[in-house]
Structure 1
């Protein structure tokens, strides 16, 4: 489903060049669960933005369903994200003037789905917000806002879910429930799941764990309680 070919991205910090990705090659198959780990500030979020077509690489290509994102214009990329991707940002990006229900239903409303609110209501109930449907983002805690954002990302059952620390702002119990929801969607619908996480217990439930550091992606191997990294 996803292929990175010689993908490079960097930014300048003063006169220093910081490589986020350096000539990375990677393939992710449909239905696969992939976790991305690594130190803070190494570009894990930037990698998700590249995969979503929200950032452009310095060199190389990102292919999704055999389409090169670099060959699509802004409208085509927006259509691709609307139809095929669910994205969970750390900063939520909820619409402040919409209720939790309306925020969660938004992708389906944009697509013209008649039962958008009914489907959003079911998913919000699954993430524990069945009693908060009519509350606005400003009336919700950070953890509740994150659950609304996750429901919005999953409501249209996308082919690909990109999640940036989806359990990071949640208590252990709620975080575990959200993790189960993401994994259940993957199992039930074949959705491909790529997530950035510092929760290694959650990461190890994925098919692969990749570590991003120094511009390189390496695949982590787990043996008992030890972890080892090999080139991805």
Structure 2
């Protein structure tokens, strides 16, 4: 499903070059659930942005489902995200002027699907918000807003779901519930899931745990690092 080949990314801070990712190689099979962990500021979110085609690497390539993102222009990347990707952000990113139903239906509305609201209603019911369809984000709790965001990410049955700290802005109990929901829905829909998280109990439920540090990606486990991690 995903192949990264010697992927590198950096930015300039004054006259200093800051390396975010250095020659990262990674293969992710269709249907896998992969967690990425590591200290803050090590480039985990940048890696997700590269996977989504929202950022371009300095070198190397991202191949998604047999297509190299390097050869796609902005419109083609937007079409790919619309049709095949679902993204769950830490800060929800719901449209405040739209109801829960309208937010969840948005990807299908953009794609011109006539059944957009029907499918969004069914997905919101699946995430436990069937009684909150007409509520606006400001009328929902943090956990409820994240449920709407998950429904929006999955409503068009994407091949790949990217989740950036999906429980990071929630209290422990609510975060655990959201993590459980995301993993259960992923299993039901058989999508590929790549998530960034600091929650090791959440990460331990994925098929693989990768650790990002010093621009390098390595296989890890849910226990504290022992220094014997192997390249991914």
Per-residue deviation at 1:189?
A: 2.7
Per-residue deviation at 1:226?
A: 5.2
- Residues 1:190 and 1:55: Cα distance change in structure 2 (over 3 Å): same
Deviations 1:160-201 (CA, angstroms, capped at 9, x unpaired): 000001122223333233222322233233200000001100
Deviations 1:87-109 (CA, angstroms, capped at 9, x unpaired): 01223222222111100011112
SS at match of 1:152: helix
In the other structure, the counterpart of 2:49 is 49
SS at match of 1:133: coil
- TM-score for the superposition, normalised by structure 2: 0.92
Per-residue deviation at 1:227?
A: 4.1
Runs of 5+ in structure 1 lacking a partner? Answer: none
SS at match of 2:60: strand
Please, what is the CA RMSD of the aligned residues?
Answer: 1.7
- Residues 1:123 and 1:190: Cα distance change in structure 2 (over 3 Å): same
Deviations 1:115-144 (CA, angstroms, capped at 9, x unpaired): 222222232233333332112223333333
In the other structure, the counterpart of 1:180 is 180
SS at match of 2:206: coil
Aligned residues: 230
Matched, 1:139 2:134: no
Superposed counterparts of 1:1-232, under 5 Å? 1-221=1-221, 227-228=225-226, 229-232=229-232
Per-residue deviation at 1:43?
A: 1.0
SS at match of 2:54: coil
Q: Distance in 1 between matches of 2:110 and 2:162?
A: 20
Runs of 5+ in structure 2 lacking a partner? Answer: none
